[in-house]
Amino acid sequence: MMKKKTFSVAISGLLAAFAIAVSFLETIIPTAPLLPPGIKIGFSNVAVMIAAKNVSFSSAISVSILKSLFVLVTRGFTAFLLSLAGGLASTAAVILIFRDKKSRFGCVGAGLIGAEVHNTAQIAVYSLFIGKAAFYYLPVLLCFGAACGALTGITLYLIEKLLKSDVLYNNYLNASETHGKDNINNG
């Protein structure tokens, strides 16, 4: 029992580190000239979806909160509130999708719904600062959110397919046979 909990905490930490690193990379890459301001694909949300689907719901929430805390440190309080609202709302939506084992939504559906809920929650929080005018930007975000959500969902699907295959495991075994198990195990 303890080993499973330790493993879950370790995987959650790795997913949070991945989410933060990808979030940072998406921040330093400038928005393409023809895209509206603030549009990001949201690849860091793949870590949250992996946690929700494969680790635990509390893990997904933890990854989302840690990602938002990173935003607080690097981009300030307003960005933190937007990240936290969007992150928690989309995490809740993805958790509901993955909780239902008979759900018709797959990885792409979870990515799409997660992105749209994320954008809607961010606009709702932003409207607290600037008023109703924030909602004029919602159609733009929803259009781009659909494309970005599909990309994150496809990414989740491909990562899961890779992890469920024996590709990683077989590569580790082949490396240990080629170089000797002592070299792999001892560093």
Q: Are 76 and 125 in contact (CB under 8 A)?
A: no
Please state, in angstroms and rounded to a whole number, the distance separating the CA atoms of residues 129 and 133: 10
Six token digits for residue 92: 């809740």
Give me the CATH topology for the region 2-27+38-185: Arp2/3 complex 21 kDa subunit ARPC3 (1.10.1760)
**pLDDT higher than threshold 90 for residue 169:** no
What does the pLDDT read at residue 162? Answer: 87
Q: Domain-by-domain residue ranges, the chain? A: 2-27+38-185
What does the pLDDT read at residue 63? Answer: 97
What does the pLDDT read at residue 123? Answer: 96
**73-79: which pairs have CB atoms within 8 A and are 24 or more residues apart?**
74/24, 74/27, 75/27, 78/129
Q: What percent of the chain is modeled with pLDDT above 90?
A: 68
**pLDDT higher than threshold 50 for residue 184:** no
Q: Which residues contact 38 (CB under 8 A, 6 or more apart)?
A: 31
Q: Are 134 and 123 in contact (CB under 8 A)?
A: yes
What does the pLDDT read at residue 180? Answer: 44
3-state secondary structure of 32: coil
Which residue has better confidence, 32 or 63? Answer: 63
